């Protein structure tokens, strides 16, 4: 009974958040308190301790450092430079948009931030070149998702943190995050290729992108910010990769054990401030506080669900009601439907990742495969106009006419195509690999 109550609270939080436009995390915190204290008999301190402090600190520290590249215009200028250099191959512009957005997002800006400044640029290119708006939307949306999934970027860091909280070792979580990044990079390239080469896209390109004006070069502060960002990413990735390559080396293991991306990002934030690469108040204001509240608030409610036995009950039900060979595919489909209306980072992965270890153990499945299926499924429908990503793309439309035309295309073409591609991919890794 209590498990059903917690599941209902999670669903109600999503529905109320969607209907009222109030942060889902705030509803989740309220339900965590009411169910935890008055349903499970926990003390208020016990409920407060369920706030995922480690995840909060890592996201805050990393976002703070990456915000310098946003507020001083480094990322936007870099995007314009990369797009300009791809202007002579207009029919391949969707790949240029996807790869550019992936690179910018991988530098740490995060999914929503990248969409905020890349979506308007992309839709403007669609007008100038005759490129399909739905193809442009898919290219920029999937590029932002793929780059954010990079191991040292926002989503990749969050995925690893949730996995570790669910009982996965740091090393294995890092390996899982590499697999998620590679998987979510393959699917968009396949989908974009189908659009480019099998839908008459090349004939619809009415003009070249030669008319794109050359952007101004990066200034001194922007070049310094870019170099600082690349150095931090290299530092963060070098230690775990070296540890995977040389697991028996004591020095490498010691250095890796002292590495924490949140603390490293904090040090680099101080360096950026000393170098005067951005204003401290603007940097702090640029931290994605709504995303932080949503992720941590839902995390509290998921912790209550674990206390109530909901996670174990859900894993047990899936293990007994669904043939084990179909579980990866089914969990991917569940993630896809959840993602139509809810955030992958804030709701889908915090809700589904915790059931993976017990599910994998009971059914003798590879946990990595389940993690991949969840993220692939969730991000397949992230371009739905009802999701936060799809909403941002619609908001970037230059006029109401374009917006009205793009809405059904995202809902009835982009989301179903992404879902079909994800389903085929999950079937492939389940039955072939």
What are the pLDDT digits (tens) for 384-420?
776 767 777 887 777 778 888 888 888 888 888 888 9
Least confident of 106-110, 161-165, 182-186, 325-329: 106-110
Radius of gyration, CA atoms only, the chain: 22
Entry pTM: 0.82
Percent of the chain with pLDDT over 70: 94
The predicted model gives 299-319 an average pLDDT of 83
For the segment 339-394, what is each residue's pLDDT rounded down to a tens digit?
A: 776 778 878 898 899 999 988 988 889 999 999 999 999 988 888 776 767 777 88
pLDDT at 418: 86
CA distance linking residue 342 with residue 340, whole number of Å: 6
> SS3 breakdown of the chain: % helix, strand, coil, rounded to 5?
80, 0, 20
Under the banding of pLDDT at 50, 70 and 90, the label for residue 68 is very high
pLDDT at 313: 79
pLDDT at 211: 56
**How far apart, in Å, are the Cα atoms of 60 and each of 88, 110, 153, 206?**
40, 12, 12, 45
Alpha helices in 275-288 (DSSP H): 280-285
For the segment 82-91, what is each residue's pLDDT rounded down to a tens digit?
A: 777 776 776 7
CA distance linking residue 209 with residue 187, whole number of Å: 26
For the segment 255-269, what is each residue's pLDDT rounded down to a tens digit?
A: 988 888 889 999 999
Measuring CA to CA, which residue among 420, 432, 431 is closest to residue 190? 420
CA distance linking residue 331 with residue 318, whole number of Å: 9
Q: Average pLDDT of the chain?
A: 86
CA distance linking residue 44 with residue 120, whole number of Å: 45
Task: Count the neighbouring beta carbons within 10 Å of the beta carbon of residue 324.
Answer: 14
> In a 3-state reduction of DSSP, which class is residue 426?
helix
């Amino acid at each position: 009974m209590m498990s059903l109550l917690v599941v209902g609270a999670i669903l109600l939080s999503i529905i109320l958040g969607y209907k009222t436009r109030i942060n889902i995390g705030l509803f989740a915190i309220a339900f965590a308190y009411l169910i935890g204290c008055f349903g499970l008999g926990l003390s208020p301190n016990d409920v407060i301790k369920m706030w995922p402090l480690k995840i909060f600190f890592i996201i805050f520290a990393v976002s703070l450092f990456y915000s310098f590249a946003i507020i001083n215009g480094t990322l936007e200028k870099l995007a314009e430079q990369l797009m300009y250099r791809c202007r002579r191959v207009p029919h391949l512009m969707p790949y240029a948009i996807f790869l550019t957005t992936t690179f910018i997002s991988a530098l740490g800006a995060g999914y929503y931030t990248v969409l905020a400044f890349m979506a308007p640029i992309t839709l403007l290119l669609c007008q100038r070149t005759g490129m399909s708006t739905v193809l442009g939307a898919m290219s920029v949306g999937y590029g932002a998702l793929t780059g954010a999934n990079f191991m040292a970027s926002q989503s990749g860091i969050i995925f690893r943190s949730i996995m570790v909280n669910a009982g996965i070792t740091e090393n294995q979580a890092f390996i899982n995050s590499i697999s998620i990044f590679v998987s979510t990079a393959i699917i968009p390239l396949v989908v974009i290729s189908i659009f480019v080469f099998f839908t008459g896209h090349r004939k619809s390109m009415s003009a070249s992108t030669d008319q794109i004006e050359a952007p101004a070069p990066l200034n001194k502060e922007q070049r310094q910010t870019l170099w600082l960002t690349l150095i931090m990413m290299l530092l963060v990735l070098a230690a775990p990769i070296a540890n995977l390559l040389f697991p028996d080396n004591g020095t490498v293991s010691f250095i890796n054990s002292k590495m924490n991306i949140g603390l490293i990002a904090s040090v680099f934030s101080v360096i950026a401030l000393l170098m005067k690469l951005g204003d401290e108040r603007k940097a702090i204001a640029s931290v994605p506080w709504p995303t932080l509240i949503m992720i941590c608030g839902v995390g509290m409610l998921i912790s209550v669900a674990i206390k109530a036995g909901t996670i174990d009950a859900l894993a047990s039900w899936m293990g007994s009601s669904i043939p084990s060979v179909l579980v990866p595919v089914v969990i991917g489909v569940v993630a896809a439907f959840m993602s139509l209306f809810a955030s992958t980072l804030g709701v889908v992965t915090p809700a589904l990742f915790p059931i993976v270890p017990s599910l994998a153990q009971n059914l003798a499945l590879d946990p990595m495969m389940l993690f991949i299926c969840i993220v692939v499924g969730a991000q397949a429908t992230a371009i739905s106009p009802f999701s936060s990503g799809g909403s941002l793309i619609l908001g970037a439309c230059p006029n109401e006419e374009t917006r009205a035309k793009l809405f059904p295309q995202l809902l009835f073409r982009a989301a179903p195509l992404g879902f079909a591609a994800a389903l085929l991919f999950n079937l492939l890794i389940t039955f072939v690999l």
